[in-house]
Amino acid sequence: MPPLSAAEFRALVEKYQDPYLGQTLADARAIESAELKGERAHVRVTLGIPIGDYGPEFTRGLRAHLQAAGGPADVEVDLQSKITAHAVQRQLSPIPGVRNVVAVASGKGGVGKSTVAANLALAWVRQGARVGILDADIYGPSQPIMLGLAGQRPSSPDGKRIKPLVAHGLSAMSIGFLIDPEQPMVWRGPMVTQALSQLLGDTDWGDLDYLVIDMPPGTGDIQLTLAQRVPVAGAVIVTTPQDIALADARKGLKMFEKVNVPVLGIVENMSVHVCSNCGHVEHLFGAGGGARMAAQYGVQLLGELPLDARVREEADGGVPTVVAAPESAHAQPYFEMARRTAGALARRSKDRSTLFPKIVVEES
């Protein structure tokens, strides 16, 4: 076979499909350079997702793709990350300093939504992104306990803006930081939405690649109002394989569709249980429900997460799984889910608002 030309080599690189982006490098416009000198090659790629320790895996995949097509065996890969802002609802403006707001929602409680939200946010942190999390569940805030911040109070140096607390590199805000843990929130809907608007707008988030919002469960007035008021770049729907949970998850998905918030995909939590004694794999709540729902609505199945006692223990201990045991088998599905979620967001349309000048009309 004759040696490849520089143009043929670049064309081969362009055809490589990243498993987490779900598109070719050409479609992602990710190739900065692709140089071929004899049997040696150098490729520089910039992905729109946090890369963390993804470099070796990406390099192996690209090299295998090139060699299978007759490309060079010696390929040096320089992988970089650039996370950009993506479009939000047309009538809303992005939060200053926050590139992307990602809502994590469920149609009903008890599906592990808050655990998924915390591990998603922390997985992005461990992969090199700047991330915050807003606990929007006023009636039952979970993040203070899950992040090991229970009992702590945020400060307001200037008396106007609140500095979020920080755990494991993650900036966090919750109503649970501001009230007595045993105090019930006996509030009506308008009070809840007003409180959340203040928590979101009055917090000094700084410069973030992602702000994860742990939404309250359900699809009522509070959830709908939040979805209409918060500039969301994408939503993640959490469910379990049970039919009743899937039925409610469908309502959550349809709610976001009604307010023009793109659904990035479905996360099936408590998908499979592996016996810690014998290793027997069992689908306690059914199998394949999340995949069927994703196929039905034309969205991505972002992950199938394990039902594992250690996940619960680690969250209750204030050190979620991706921080407590990042190399463990039960943590890997969370990291993969985080990369797929970032990839699904990276495929969305970019925020173009900064490209247009602001028009100011002054009276002469």
Q: Which of 83-97, 270-284, 286-300, 311-325 holds the top average pLDDT?
A: 311-325
pLDDT of residue 192: 79
Residue 359 predicted with pLDDT over 50: no
Q: What are phi and psi of 3, to 5 degrees?
A: -65, 150
End-to-end CA distance of the chain: 74
pLDDT digits over 291-331, tens only? 888 888 889 999 999 888 899 999 999 999 999 999 999 99
Q: How confident is the model at residue 284 (pLDDT cuts 50, 70, 90)?
A: low
Q: Which domains does the chain have, with CATH numbers?
A: 6-81 (3.30.300.130), 98-346 (3.40.50.300)
CA dist 20 and 339 (Å) reads 6
Residue 204 predicted with pLDDT over 60: yes
pLDDT of residue 228: 82
pLDDT of residue 92: 87
pLDDT of residue 138: 81
CA dist 227 and 289 (Å) reads 25
CA dist 171 and 178 (Å) reads 16
pLDDT of residue 114: 95
Residue 364 predicted with pLDDT over 70: no
Mean pLDDT of 141-156: 93
Mean pLDDT of 340-360: 73
Residue 360 predicted with pLDDT over 90: no
Helix (H) / strand (E) element for 80: namely strand 74-81
Query: Which residue(s) pair with 237 in the sheet?
Result: 105, 266
Residue 279 predicted with pLDDT over 70: no
> Read out DSSP for 193-249?
HHHHHHHHHSB---SEEEEEEEPPSSSSHHHHHHHHHS--SEEEEEE-SSHHHHHHH
More confident site: 186 or 357: 186
Residue 190 is given by DSSP the state H
Cβ–Cβ under 8 Å, residues 35 and 76: no
pLDDT of residue 28: 94
pLDDT digits over 32-76, tens only? 999 998 788 999 999 999 999 999 999 999 999 999 988 888 899
pLDDT of residue 208: 98
Instruction: Let me know the angle formed at the C-alpha of 26 by 25 and 30, rounded to the nearest 5 degrees.
Output: 55
Above pLDDT 70, what percent of the chain? 90
- The stretches of the chain forming alpha helices (DSSP H) are 6-14, 55-68, 113-126, 143-146, 189-201, 221-229, 243-258, 289-297, 309-316, 321-324, 332-346
Q: How confident is the model at residue 358 (pLDDT cuts 50, 70, 90)?
A: very low
Residue given tokens 């900064």 in the structure block: 354
Mean pLDDT of 186-201: 80
Q: Which of 197, 187, 184, 191 is CA-nearest to residue 228?
A: 197
pLDDT digits over 108-135, tens only? 788 889 999 999 999 999 999 999 999 9
- Specify burial of residue 104 (Cβ count, 10 A radius: 0-12, 13-18, 19+): buried
The predicted model scores a pTM of 0.90
Q: Which of 265, 264, 294, 337 is CA-nearest to residue 115?
A: 337
Residue given tokens 């494991």 in the structure block: 168
- Specify burial of residue 171 (Cβ count, 10 A radius: 0-12, 13-18, 19+): buried
More confident site: 258 or 18: 18
165, 149, 111, 280 alpha-carbon torsion, rounded to 10°: 120
